[in-house]
């Protein structure tokens, strides 16, 4: 379903939240909005934040950002603070998360637009040309097919050489991956399914989906022995395979 565009300073519609709560593809993160930051620090300390911000210095030349599923908006606020020339369009399926994001980024509200939408049906405004896409711990809420569909819908609104910043969980091909990371990721999926109704239950193969849509992995950094990954992708229009360097 298409969400209604709203500025962060306007009241948010309860009707939109109610309609999204009935959507079969949108997990309900509303109840986590108030405790999101503290839950994050209790479970992973500062590492999720470090993962989000690892490549932030490389984004200071960007001017038009599309931020999908940023949760309580701390990254959006930080990006707008450090890059005074950038505009951001933040989209989320949670009314409460959008409210939290609006509050976090309130000093920069004149450069921020927020939108509530089911991202499995949402389409970007065709008049825009984004040079930055941001998904922090959001792609793991989708299946591989859903990531591929999202990447396809984004292609018409990408500026040349656009960036896609990704932070997410990963299961490294190692003993640590098999014995620690895989069971931990499975536990997280079970917990979020119980709390939010999240339908995905395994990490998507988003690298293949992005590569097939013309994205090339430019930089990568691993955290917590590969349990967390920060990646910066570049849009090359025609798929050419992956190239990577450790950030």
How does pLDDT run across 25-78, given as a tens digit for each residue?
567 777 777 778 888 888 899 999 999 999 999 999 999 999 999 999 999 999
Sign of CA dihedral 163, 83, 5, 95: positive
The CATH number fitting domain 5-235, selected from 3.40.50.150, 3.90.1300.10, 3.40.630.30, 1.20.140.10: 3.40.50.150
List the domain boundaries for the chain.
Answer: 5-235
Q: What is the pLDDT of residue 26?
A: 65
- Nearest to residue 129, comparing CAs of 165, 155, 102? 155
User: Taking phi first (over 0 means left), then psi (-120 to 50 degrees means alpha), and beta for anything else, what does residue 224 get?
Assistant: left
Angle (CA) 66 147 68, round 5°: 25
Asked if 115 and 90 touch (Cβ cutoff 8 Å), the reply is yes
Residue 236 CB neighbour total at 10 angstroms: 16
pTM: 0.85
Instruction: Provide the 8-state DSSP code for 137.
Output: S
How many whole angstroms separate alpha carbon 38 and alpha carbon 30?
15
Series of mean pLDDT values for 10-residue runs along the chain (247 residues): 34 39 61 79 93 96 97 96 98 93 96 94 94 97 95 96 97 95 94 82 94 96 97 80 40
Provide the H-helix boundaries in 73-117. 74-82, 95-104
As given in the structure block, the two tokens for residue 121 are 């049906």
Tell me the per-residue pLDDT of 78-95, one tens digit each, with 9 for 90 and over.
999 999 999 999 999 999
Asked if 169 and 188 touch (Cβ cutoff 8 Å), the reply is yes
Q: What is the pLDDT of residue 25?
A: 55
Q: Distance of alpha carbon 105 from its chain centroid, rounded?
A: 16
- Nearest to residue 213, comparing CAs of 144, 123, 152, 149? 152
How many whole angstroms separate alpha carbon 77 and alpha carbon 104?
6
């Amino acid at each position: 379903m298409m969400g209604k565009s709203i500025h962060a300073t306007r009241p948010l519609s309860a009707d939109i939240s109610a309609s999204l709560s009935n959507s079969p593809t949108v997990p309900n993160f509303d109840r986590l909005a108030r405790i999101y930051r503290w839950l994050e620090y209790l479970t992973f300390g500062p590492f999720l934040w470090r993962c989000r911000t690892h490549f932030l210095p490389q984004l200071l030349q960007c001017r038009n950002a599309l931020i999908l599923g940023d949760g309580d908006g701390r990254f959006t606020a930080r990006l707008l603070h450090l890059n005074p020339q950038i505009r951001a369009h933040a989209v989320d399926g949670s009314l409460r998360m959008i409210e939290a994001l609006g509050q976090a980024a309130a000093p920069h509200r004149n450069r921020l637009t927020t939108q509530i939408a089911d991202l499995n049906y949402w389409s970007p405004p065709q008049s825009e040309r984004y040079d930055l896409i941001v998904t922090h711990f959001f792609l793991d809420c989708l299946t591989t097919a859903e990531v591929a569909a999202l990447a396809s819908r984004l292609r018409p609104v990408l500026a040349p050489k656009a960036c896609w910043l990704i932070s997410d969980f990963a299961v490294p091909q190692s003993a640590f991956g098999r014995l620690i990371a895989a069971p931990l990721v499975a536990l997280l999926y079970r917990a979020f399914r119980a709390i939010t109704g999240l339908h995905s239950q395994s990490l998507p193969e988003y690298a293949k989906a992005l590569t097939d849509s013309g994205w090339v992995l430019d930089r990568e950094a691993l955290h917590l022995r590969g349990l967390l990954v920060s990646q910066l992708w570049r849009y090359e229009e025609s798929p050419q395979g992956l190239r990577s360097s450790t950030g």
